[in-house]
Amino acid sequence: MNIPYTFDLAPSTWIPSRYDNHIIRKLSSMKGQYYDTQAFDRLLAQSDPLLYEVYELSRPSVAGELLHGISIIHPGKVGNEYYMTKGHFHAVLDTAELYYCLGGNGMMVMETPEGDWAVEGFTAGKTLYIPPRWAHRSVNVGDLDLALLFIYPGHAGHDYGTIERQGFRKLVLDEGGEARVVDNPRWVHLEQIKSLLL
């Protein structure tokens, strides 16, 4: 029904008291996303761990609406690369997103179609505004769940394919117990390739 509503977030689990969709993403859905493909294959041969979950409240996918929910990225690593979300551009590039960190320790890796990049840290209480045009991937660099509240325009949609093909320009790796942002050796700038072909 189209009436105002509230919801509560359970302390420590951050699971909302109401939601419509519960999306779970396991390792098997992240093929090609982790740079250490051998570590990926080894881990997948043993088990298919749950990397992250999203609790969505459903609203119509139209411009006047704000889609919102909670994403929870569990702690862990594939090789020395932390558990992370798939990451995406919004299908309507000119749409922004706001994130609020409820708990945990993380980073948001971002980039534009032009190849500009940015990485911001998350600790409880940190708010991140992602302007239009920036692809975004949440990374859990801590030992606890990383819980994030997100809000974005109803008509934004998602483009996962671009990141699946080109990756993110930056990786976040555990180097001796420290989270380090490094170049992704396999990153390809599809926009640049396209312009060379034209």
170 interacts with, out of Zn ion, ligand F6R, none, CB within 5 to 8 A per kind: none
| Identity of the residue, 69 or 104, whose beta carbon is nearer to ligand F6R in the bound complex | 69
CB of 136 to ligand F6R, least distance (A): 6
Q: Which residue has the tokens 């209480």?
A: 125
Q: Is residue 53 within 8 Å of 72, Cβ to Cβ? A: yes
Q: Judged by CB under 5 A, how many residues of this single chain contact Zn ion? A: 1
CB of 1 to ligand F6R, least distance (A): 23
CB of 198 to ligand F6R, least distance (A): 29
| Identity of the residue, 81 or 97, whose beta carbon is nearer to Zn ion in the bound complex | 97
Q: Is residue 130 within 8 Å of 108, Cβ to Cβ? A: yes
Q: Is residue 98 within 8 Å of 128, Cβ to Cβ? A: yes
| Identity of the residue, 64 or 176, whose beta carbon is nearer to ligand F6R in the bound complex | 64
What are the helix and strand counts (H, E) for the chain?
3, 13
Q: Which of 97, 101, 107, 128 binds Zn ion (CB under 5 A)?
A: 97
Measured CA to CA, the distance from residue 109 to residue 165 in angstroms comes to 17
